[in-house]
Copies of this chain bind each other. A is one copy, B any other.
Amino acid sequence: MRDTVSTMKRRQRTGKGAPGIVEVAARAQVSPATVSRFFNNPKVVRPDTRKRIQAAATEMGYIRDRMAGAMHNRFSGSIGLVVPTIDNTIFSEMIAAFSNRLLEHDRTMLVASHNYDPTLEVSIIRSLLERRIDGVALVGQDHMDTAVDMLRIRSVPVIALWGYDENPRIPFVGANNALAGYRVTRHVIDDGHTNIAFLFPDTHNNDRARDRKNGALKALTDANIVSDKSKLLTCPYDVTESKAIAKRILTSDKPSAIVCGNDVIAHGVIYAAYELGIHIPGALSVAGIGDFKGSADIVPSLTTVRLPAKRIGSIAADTLVHMSESGEHDTVKNQVIETELIVRQSTGKLA
């Protein structure tokens, strides 16, 4: 009798007819425990029982309730990814790779973006923690202590993406951004340019941009070129803005080369040059960092440094899954992704 009441209530809750593990068990003539085992560790149940359960489950359209399971399990099956922005090419390729790889591990991804606001990041992490995520990937090493502490206390596996640090507080999967900045600048210098402008994003709360910029400036000093403050411009990751800024600088300062914090910025610069009738690479060399989708196709094709976003995403997903499964949170090695200078048609020797 009481069974009926409870069942009815459940039905109402979950919709018309969503069966639970006990309904499946009843139909398969086994106990709920066995059904549970069937789903979590099939090999411990005898083949013919397996078949019966499988049949019952599909016939009834059973879908497991991982939330209920997670209460014992410690694992929710979801992994978080916290990025500055989702719709920027910089991250969207990585997000996609991360998500796809997670799917292969039978995990789901919770993503959220904080727009470079560390406080918002904290509340996002809190919100993820409320959902019992099995691990989180953050971008870079610049985070509020609160954020890192919350994760540490609950011993949730964390890794930092993109950044590179000799002595990181969070293990990372990333590339040496300073080197990337150095290399691309060095390439431009090797082509004979000395009047070089730089378009980099705000380095506040953004260690990747900071490293790249520092690397770029180091190449300058190494070559004994005095860097002029007026040639060091701040520019967000946005084509429209970079195009506007580039137009300004190209009509006033007239540098012979522009090094950009990433490819999106460089795209804007190329468009600006086009509109002003400045020939690339004849009158102006342009270089980016990142090698985004489209950088090989734009005309002229863009000289840049390849930072394999997809690989970072996949490796991050693998690592996080491994960390959560093995419980080895501290023995994780930092993973340095190699970068590569890609010389294309947007840069050339100074005439």
A333 is an interface residue with CB less than 8 A from chain B = no
Do A293 and B112 have beta carbons less than 8 Å apart? no
Distance of A294 Cα from B58 Cα, bound (Å): 48
Chain B CB count within 10 A is highest, among A76, A93, A154, A156, for: A154
Q: How far is the CB of A288 from chain B (nearest CB, A)?
A: 14
Do B131 and A66 have beta carbons less than 8 Å apart? yes
Q: How far is the CB of A211 from chain B (nearest CB, A)?
A: 24
Do B78 and A110 have beta carbons less than 8 Å apart? yes
Which residues of B have CB within 8 Å of A70?
67
Q: Known pairs A61-B153, A87-B293, A275-B299. 6 more at Cβ < 8 A? A: A61-B150, A63-B126, A63-B154, A67-B71, A86-B95, A99-B111
Which among A10-18, A187-195, A316-324 touches the partner chain?
Answer: A10-18
Which residues of B have CB within 8 Å of A127?
103, 106, 108
Do A268 and B240 have beta carbons less than 8 Å apart? no
Do B110 and A110 have beta carbons less than 8 Å apart? yes
- Beta-carbon contacts of A224-249 to B below 8 Å, as 1s and 0s? 00000000000000111001000000
A96 is an interface residue with CB less than 8 A from chain B = yes
Q: Which 8 A-B pairs have the closest CB atoms?
A: A15-B155, A87-B96, A86-B96, A274-B299, A87-B92, A92-B92, A15-B154, A87-B93
Do B63 and A131 have beta carbons less than 8 Å apart? no
Chain B CB count within 10 A is highest, among A77, A126, A132, for: A132
A124 is an interface residue with CB less than 8 A from chain B = yes
